Amino acid sequence: MGPVRQGRTTSAVLAALAAAALWGTTGTARALGPGDADPVAVGALRVAVGALVLVLMAVGDRARRPPARPREGGALPTWVVVLLGGLCVATYQAGFFVGVSRAGVAIGTVVALGLAPVATGLLATVLGERPDRRWALATAVAVTGVALLVVGAAGPSGRADALGIAAAAVAGTAYAGYTITARSLLVRGVPGLAVMAAFFGVGALMLAPVLLLVDVSWAATPRGLATVLWLGVVATAVAYALFQHGLARLTARTVATLSLAEPVTAALLGVLLLRERLTMTSVVGLAVVVAGLVLVSLPSRRGARSPRRGTRHTVSP
C-alpha cells in the first residue's frame, strides 16, 4: 500500500471513528434536554435540522467540484434506493430515541449499534451474500452478548423494558439498511454529501407529520433549542458528513466495526454524566458483543490475498 493510499485509508478510519463518537453523544444530549420532550419528535427535529444543514453542505460541495456522472447499476434504480435509505433514516431516529428513553442511554445505544453489524450481515445475505462458519459463530456470540445485556438491564425486579429493547433493535437494523443503501449509491458515483442530504431530506418528510401531532413547544426553550441544534448540526450533519467520507473509502464491514465507538462513547457518557450504572452482567455482555462483532468484521484472508477488480467497492457483511 502506497503512502497516498495509506493516508486516505487513515483519514477514512479517523472520519468513521469521529462520526461514531459524535453519534455516541446523542442519547446523553437527549437525557440532558427537556424531560417532557416526545422522543419521536426529538428524532424528527434532529432529522429536519440535519437535512437542512446537509443540503447546504451538498450545494457548497457541488459548487467546488465539477459535476460527476453517476453510474446506474444494481437491481434498483437510484430514486428507489434513495427512498429506501430515507425510510431507514426515519425508522432509525424513531427507534433509537424510543429505545434510549425506555431502556437507558447505555443499554439502548449498545443494543442499537451493537446489532448493526450483524444486521448488515443478514441484509447482505438477503442480497445474495453467503454467510460462512466464522460469520455464524460471530453472530451466535453477539446474540449471546445482547441477551446478557438485556438480563443486566432488567435490574433487581428481574424485568427489562421489552419495548425499549425492541425499539433499539429496530434502530440497529435500520442503521444497517441505510449503510448498505448509501454504500450502493457511493459505488455508483453519487457524491457522498448528496447521498446524505437526499436520505435525510426523505427522512425529514416522513417524520414531519409527527411534529403536527405532538407538543414541540419545549424546542423553543433555551435547553430545548440547544438540544435540537446539537443533535441536528453536530450529531447529524457533521457526523454524517464524516460518515460518508469513511464509507466511500472503506468497506461497509469496516465502517460497521468502527461504529462500535458509538456505544462505547454512549456507555461512558451515561456512566460519567448521567450516573447510570452497568451491572456486572451488562459489562460482561458488552464485552461479549464487542468480541462477536470484531470477529464478524475481520477481513477474510482470501479477500486480502487476492483482491479482485472492483472489490474495493463491494459491500461485505
Q: Please tell me the predicted confidence (pLDDT) of residue 235.
A: 95
Q: Please tell me the predicted confidence (pLDDT) of residue 238.
A: 97
Reading the block at residue 283, the C-alpha cell is 459489562
* Calpha distance 182→314 (Å, rounded): 12
Q: Please tell me the predicted confidence (pLDDT) of residue 278.
A: 75
Q: Scanning the structure block, which residue is given the C-alpha cell 490475498?
A: 305
Asked if residue 51 lies in contact with residue 203, where contact means CB atoms within 8 angstroms, the answer is: yes
DSSP for 202-266, written as a single string:
HHHHHHHHHHHHS--GGGGSHHHHHHHHIIIIIIIIIHHHHHHHHHHHS-HHHHHHHTTHHHHHH
Q: Which of 21, 5, 9 is nearest to 247 (CA)?
A: 9
Reading the block at residue 147, the C-alpha cell is 441477551
Rounded to the nearest 5°, which phi and psi values hold at 190?
Answer: -75, 130
Residues 6+ away with beta carbon under 8 Å from 218: 34, 36, 37, 224
Reading the block at residue 183, the C-alpha cell is 454504500
User: Could you read off the pLDDT tens digit of each residue along the chain, which spans 317 residues?
Assistant: 555 455 577 788 889 889 988 988 987 888 888 888 888 888 889 999 999 999 999 999 888 876 666 666 566 788 899 999 999 999 988 888 788 778 876 677 678 877 887 787 677 665 555 666 776 777 678 778 777 766 665 555 445 678 888 998 999 899 889 988 998 888 888 899 999 999 999 999 999 998 888 889 999 999 999 999 999 999 999 999 999 998 888 777 677 767 777 777 777 787 778 777 777 887 887 788 778 767 755 655 544 443 343 434 333 33
* Calpha distance 45→106 (Å, rounded): 22
- The pTM of the full predicted model, rounded to 2 decimals, is 0.78
